[in-house]
Amino acid sequence: MLWRAILGRFGISLVTLWVVSILIFIGTNLLPGDVAQIILGQTATPESTAALRAKLGLDKHPIEQYWVWLQNVMMGDLGISKAGLGAGLGTPIVEMLGPRVDNTLRLTLIVGAVAIPISLFLGLIAAMHPGTRLDRSITFATLNLISVPDFLVATALVLIFAVSLGWLPSIVYLRGDETGWVLLKTLAMPILTLVILVSSQIIRMTRATVLNVMSSPYIEMAILKGVPRRRIILRHALFNAVGPIVNVIALNLAWLVGGVVVVEQIFSYPGLAKLMIEAVQMRDMPLVQACAMIFCATYIVLIFIADIASILSNPRLRHPK
Amino acid sequence: MSEPSQETSASTQFDELPTAPPKRKIRLSWPGKIGVSVLIFWAIIVVIGPTIAPYHEADILDEELFIVPGSDEMYPDTDFQPPSSIVLLGSDYLGRDTLSRILFGARTTIGISLLATLLAYLIGVTLGIAAAVGSKFLDMCLSRVNDALLSIPSIMFALVLIAALNSPGIFWLILIAGFIYAASVFRIARSLGQEVMVSDFVEAAKVRGEGLWWIITREVLPNIAMPLATDFGLRFVWVILFISSLSFLGLGVQPPMSDWGSMVKENLSGLVYGSVAPLMPALAIATLTISVNMIVDDISAATGGKLAKRMIS
């Protein structure tokens, strides 16, 4: 039954990914006018436009174009960026993505490694002492932090740590050979911003889920038996709250990969999301498609993992009705 | 719901609705009360903001205004002025009054977000209820497309559409935001609708021979109205943050119109000089979104937190 449930989730993920690829393809092909014409500009002769159209496969039927694109994507060929295409050969997108993926993954991993333990700890502390001053201040602070725009958090931190105190650089300037302490100092501002933003989400979710489990009958039983409160939370409640908590962690990790456009922009951090903004501003459609596919695939994979975690932690989910 | 029809005795007996249970009063905590007052404040500003603004949103202030009496400086800098009696919240990177721009921008930011949220609700609730009451096949198709839409980070999705439409105007901005947020509204409307559809009273209505339209308007909609209204608040906050982020990236509301998100972006360079110009509009957004969240928090606490749980998942 366990394998069947997992296979079922896997099938749904694949179907979702497929629908996503169709949506992205339609979305990027809403473009009025002809990509070949846009690339070649005003001076294009009809012959050169036609040649480029044939080269890019634009003279085929849209469904055939989609099919070719899908096959290429599955083979790992994400196409050719518009950058430098006018001069002859464009840059393969895979080459452009490489360093950006490295940067994004580095930031995501550091932020995840810092934020997840902190927020689980604070969330549990708040849930252990509901209604106390500690709990109320944690709840109040996180509610405020999830309500404000991310650029407010970022600008406020810049104002404090870069302008007033002068401790940290306000812009990330990566040369590529930094290690250890220097690297950490360079990345400190975006890391701090993202840790604050991500933590407040996870803290709220952890607290809400654990408190929710705490109102179930078997916890009442444990309380009546006289089990100490700390043991109830750590042994009984936490394991039953794993599903939703893993889910919100997965959502936040996916957001760190694709949703941090604003933060990457403020600190001019060369990550994937900033690459996509640049692609949008340059109207570089193949690159936009590739980035969008990466973000959606990340989201779907992470949610799939979270689903499996909740199936493993809750045997009832193994038997879909 | 309307009054039970007592005068029209000719109506069939099925038209009568049983007396509703007494409504539970929602008691606002003090953050909730502050939230309500801030919300009313911004609602008034949306209406009268441009009339009470000391300057026009596009006015670049005269240098004469800033000449200190007695000083021999002829041409003082008008950009990034600190708050003073001339410019209450300072001036921006072009020397425009920040306060006036915030007052003008309230209409743009709140107006666009409200219209987009309403549009999202129109699409999302209609399709969500259709999926809840319709055939299994319809439900599956709609849900799969919806899952796919939800898997694209909303800001990325907007970027793809904006790129494809080649930096469109405000009308398209509202359409795009409404369309993107319709996906999450669909999800909650569908799950709420499904819950009502399997309840005993809907079963009873079906057995009585009531039509589908009757069930939707008399049973489903009244029962999901309250949770949806609360969700509307949260969704409105997200749309404000979303529109502001797009404007912040330079892809939302275009100059010379003032909008809180683009005001932050324009004045970001002033941060290095310690100017408050980028902070003020960001704080304006924050007061609005925090207030809505405080109110929603109170309401969901009054309904036992069930609501909040469903919205997060």
Residues A276 and A158 in one domain: yes
Tens of pLDDT, residues B63-116: 666 666 666 666 666 677 777 777 777 777 777 777 888 888 888 888 899 999
Residues A119 and A191 in one domain: yes
Residues A115 and A43 in one domain: no
Neighbours of B93 (CB within 10 A): 16
Are B285 and A148 an interchain contact pair (Cβ–Cβ within 8 Å)?
Answer: yes
Question: Which of A43-52, A77-86, B252-261 is the most confident on average?
Answer: B252-261
DSSP per-residue letters across A23-54: HHHHHHT--SS-HHHHHH-TT--HHHHHHHHH
Number of domains in chain A: 2
Residues A117 and A203 in one domain: yes
Asked whether residue A295 is assigned to any structural domain, the reply reads no
Asked whether residue A317 is assigned to any structural domain, the reply reads no
Residues A124 and A227 in one domain: yes
**Helices marked H in chain B:** 30-52, 98-133, 136-151, 154-165, 170-197, 200-208, 212-215, 221-248, 260-266, 279-302, 306-312
Neighbours of B114 (CB within 10 A): 15
CB-CB neighbors (< 8 A) of B151 in chain A: 16, 20, 296, 299-300, 303
Q: Is the confidence at residue B118, as pLDDT, over 50?
A: yes
Domain span including residue A14: 2-91
pTM of the model: 0.78
Nearest residue to A198 via CA among A108, A262, A281, A131: A108
Contact of B144 with B236, CB cutoff 8 Å: no
Place of tokens 């950490």: A184
CB burial of B258-269 (b: ≥16 within 10 Å; e: otherwise) equals bbbbbbbbbbbe
Q: Which of A91, A115, A141 is the last residue of a domain?
A: A91
Are B313 and A31 an interchain contact pair (Cβ–Cβ within 8 Å)?
Answer: no
- The pLDDT mean for chain B works out to 78
Q: Which of B4-8, B222-226, B272-276 has the lowest mean pLDDT?
A: B4-8
Residues A121 and A79 in one domain: no
Nearest residue to B93 via CA among B216, B232, B263, B229: B263
Asked whether residue A102 is assigned to any structural domain, the reply reads yes
Tens of pLDDT, residues B30-64: 878 888 888 898 888 888 878 887 777 777 766 66
| Percentage of chain A exceeding pLDDT 70 | 81
CB-CB neighbors (< 8 A) of A23 in chain B: 145, 148-149, 152
Residue B225, token pair as written in the block: 């109205």
Are B164 and A31 an interchain contact pair (Cβ–Cβ within 8 Å)?
Answer: yes
Please name the residue of chain B whose CA is at the shortest distance from the CA of residue A201.
B312
What is the rounded CA–CA span in Å between residue A107 and residue A187?
8
Query: What is the CATH classification number for the domain harbouring A248?
Result: 1.10.3720.10
Nearest residue to A124 via CA among A201, A237, A18: A237
Are B160 and A299 an interchain contact pair (Cβ–Cβ within 8 Å)?
Answer: no
Contact of A6 with A311, CB cutoff 8 Å: yes
Residues A28 and A115 in one domain: no
Q: Is ipTM over 0.90?
A: no
CB burial of A244-261 (b: ≥16 within 10 Å; e: otherwise) equals bbbbbbbbbbbbbbbbbb
Beta strand spans in A202-256 (E): none
Nearest residue to A196 via CA among A276, A275, A122: A122
Residues A130 and A78 in one domain: no
What is the rounded CA–CA span in Å between residue B222 and residue B192?
11
Asked whether residue A32 is assigned to any structural domain, the reply reads yes
What is the rounded CA–CA span in Å between residue A27 and residue B162?
10
Asked whether residue A144 is assigned to any structural domain, the reply reads yes
Asked whether residue A84 is assigned to any structural domain, the reply reads yes
Asked whether residue A8 is assigned to any structural domain, the reply reads yes
Q: Which of A36, A59, A91 is the last residue of a domain?
A: A91
Provide CB contacts within 8 A for A242, sequence distance 6+.
Answer: A309, A310, A313
Amino acid at B129: I
Q: What is the pLDDT of residue B117?
A: 92
> Computed over its alpha carbons, how large is the radius of gyration of chain A?
24
The closest CB to that of A28, out of B164, B251, B272, belongs to B164
- The pLDDT mean for chain A works out to 78
Contact of A28 with A285, CB cutoff 8 Å: yes
Q: Which H, E and C letters describe B59-110, residue by residue?
A: CCCCHHHHCCCCCCCCCCCCCCCCCCCCCCCCECCCCCEHHHHHHHHHHHHH
What is the rounded CA–CA span in Å between residue B285 and residue B280?
9
Residues A199 and A264 in one domain: yes
Asked whether residue A198 is assigned to any structural domain, the reply reads yes
Contact of B192 with B228, CB cutoff 8 Å: yes
Are A24 and B271 an interchain contact pair (Cβ–Cβ within 8 Å)?
Answer: no
Contact of B236 with B117, CB cutoff 8 Å: yes
Amino acid at B234: L
Mean pLDDT of B11-28: 61
Residues A46 and A148 in one domain: no
Q: Which of A67, A91, A115 is the last residue of a domain?
A: A91
Residues A191 and A228 in one domain: yes
Residues A104 and A198 in one domain: yes
Interface test with B, best of A104, A280, A301, A304 (most B CBs within 10 A): A280
